[in-house]
Structure 1
Amino acid sequence: MDLNLKNTLALVTGSTSGIGKAVAASLVREGASVIINGRSEERVATVVLELRALGNVHGVVADLATAVGTEQLIEQVSAIGPVDILVNNVGFFEFKPFFEVTDEEWSKLFDLNVMSGVRLARTLLKDMLERDWGRIVFVSSEAGVKPNPEMIHYSVTKTTQIALARGLAELTKGTRVTVNSALVAPTWTEGVETFLSKIAASQGTSVEALKTEYFKVDGFNSLLQRFATVDEIASLIVFLCSRNASAINGAAERVDGGMVRSIL
């Protein structure tokens, strides 16, 4: 299927690994020009070099956990061209008991997971509306509608993203701009692998054993009964970015592997 993304410019935040990198690669394959973003100059350069074999790719180094970093990103991106597609993917997760999470940790998580999207949309959505075309997708999580008690702070940021996306979509009424969120399943990324490797080492077990155990406990509701791949997640996100998804707006689309046990 041709997703009609040629001659578009996409910004994918946090795209040097995991879901973000998979989304960026898929967008490039579909003919979009893509801006890779990350905090490490070396990692951004590596991914840009890798994806340039597929198409037109740019790299911008910026830390979106701060307002200053986000402003720097916007300034550098504006020099490349008007952004048609924004994928708010950057984010951080951790398992930590609610009673141990400090105010500072709550604020840091909100700054990265939520405020980065707020700050980017404040500029980029306005420009999309003026040009009467654009796509914004927030990479949320099934934890946004089924909060995990072991990571309440993370879950709350994902719920906020869903509400933010819907609220921004209301501003697009009557235009060809859409704003949606994706409720993502537990996904096998470099970050998840590193996290489970540390736990496995501390418990004297294996990563494979922990992967299996997860779907007996926290992931019991999953119909997939395995971690999703980054490419499986990217497929939905890239479709939402396409012209073919013009009738999908203000939606929280599920690619959750059946984790949320509801029909709506």
Structure 2
Amino acid sequence: MDLQLHDRRALVTGSTSGLGEATVRMLAAEGAAVVVHGRNAARAQAIADDIVAAGGRASVAIGDLTTDAGADAVAEAALAGGPVDILVNNAGAYEHLNWNEATPQAWAETYDQNVISGVRMIQRLVPAMRERDWGRVITIGGGLGGQPMNTHPQYNATLAARHNLAVSLARDLKGTGVTSNVVAPGAILVPAVQDFLVGIAGDRGWGDTWADIELNSVRELVPNDANRFGRPDEIAGAVTYLCGPLADYITGASIRVDGGTVRGVQ
């Protein structure tokens, strides 16, 4: 299927690993010119070079989005190659903290990393989308924004804020041709998660093979109807669809990619 992205340019924040990397690679494979963003120039350039070697179009933008200066640098680098039609706000961070460990400073830092960083890029790139009567803003959210765990409360709250700001932005963009949506992943298998699960599998009695470890860890930690963890490309696929004109009629929506973890109408 041609998602009609050949004439579009996309910036994916936090795209030097994990979901962001999978997304920037898939957008490039669909024909979009992509901007790989990160704080490590070597890692970003390596991904961009790999995309170009595969026949795609890619450049890099380096900067810390928790500062205005960093956001300015990223926007300037991204716009150097032409207008940015698609902004995927993926960059973020979290720590496994309990309620006693999550100090007010940790809350503030997490909010800056996960919420205000995205606002900075929206304010720098979306006005020009509005002027051109077309654009896409995709925010990576998560199920913990609506069904929070008792741990890392500072992170759960920022996911809720990301969902909320995306819908507010969609209302503000009414009738402009620019849409704002959320892709909400469930538990996704990235290398760090797999390493962690294998490391504790023996103590939990989950088995010796990865097939057994995945099935048993999902049942115990993140039960869902698919009986497995999601894969980064499954998130990237949802994002990539929302970026194209076939998704013109979708805005203010939250697309869950969670294996059926969340039940009921959301």
TM superposition score category, shorter chain reference? over 0.9
Write the letter of the residue equivalent to 1:248: I
Aligned to 2:182: 181
Q: 1:196·1:207 contact (CA, 8 Å) conserved in 2?
A: no
Cα deviations by residue, 1:128-158 (Å, 9 ceiling, x for unpaired): 1111000000000111111121222111111
Amino-acid identity (%): 37
- Which ranges in structure 1 are unaligned for 5 or more consecutive residues? none
Cα deviations by residue, 1:14-58 (Å, 9 ceiling, x for unpaired): 111111111111111111000000111111111111111231100
Write the letter of the residue equivalent to 2:229: F
Aligned to 1:245: 247
CA 140–48 in structure 1, closer or farther in 2 if over 3 Å, else same: same
1:40-119 mapped onto 2 (5 Å cutoff): 40-52=40-52, 53-119=54-120
Aligned to 2:220: 217
Q: 1:200·1:210 contact (CA, 8 Å) conserved in 2?
A: no
Aligned to 1:22: 22
What SS does structure 1 have at the residue aligned with 2:183?
A: strand
- Which ranges in structure 2 are unaligned for 5 or more consecutive residues? none
Distance in 1, matches of 2:230 and 2:86, equals 24
Q: 1:17·1:190 contact (CA, 8 Å) conserved in 2?
A: no
Distance in 1, matches of 2:48 and 2:209, equals 30
Distance in 2, matches of 1:70 and 1:85, equals 16
Q: 1:200·1:207 contact (CA, 8 Å) conserved in 2?
A: no
Write the letter of the residue equivalent to 1:96: L
Write the letter of the residue equivalent to 1:18: G
Displacement after TM superposition at 1:191 (Å): 3.8
Q: 2:135·2:179 contact (CA, 8 Å) conserved in 1?
A: yes
Aligned pair count reads 262
Give every structure 1 segment of 4 or more consecutive aligned residues whose post-TM-superposition deviation is greater than 4 Å: 194-197, 201-213
Distance in 2, matches of 1:218 and 1:106, equals 25
Whether 1:254 aligns to 2:256 is: yes
| Range that drifts further, 143-152 or 160-169 | 143-152
What SS does structure 1 have at the residue aligned with 2:100?
A: helix
| Range that drifts further, 98-107 or 27-36 | 98-107
What SS does structure 2 have at the residue aligned with 1:123?
A: helix
Matching residue within 221, 234, 237 for 1:235: 237
Q: What's the TM-score, normalizing by structure 2? A: 0.91
CA 204–146 in structure 1, closer or farther in 2 if over 3 Å, else same: closer
Q: 1:36·1:60 contact (CA, 8 Å) conserved in 2?
A: yes
Displacement after TM superposition at 1:117 (Å): 0.7
Q: What's the TM-score, normalizing by structure 1? A: 0.92
Displacement after TM superposition at 1:85 (Å): 0.2
Distance in 1, matches of 2:201 and 2:42, equals 29
1:143-158 mapped onto 2 (5 Å cutoff): 143-158=144-159
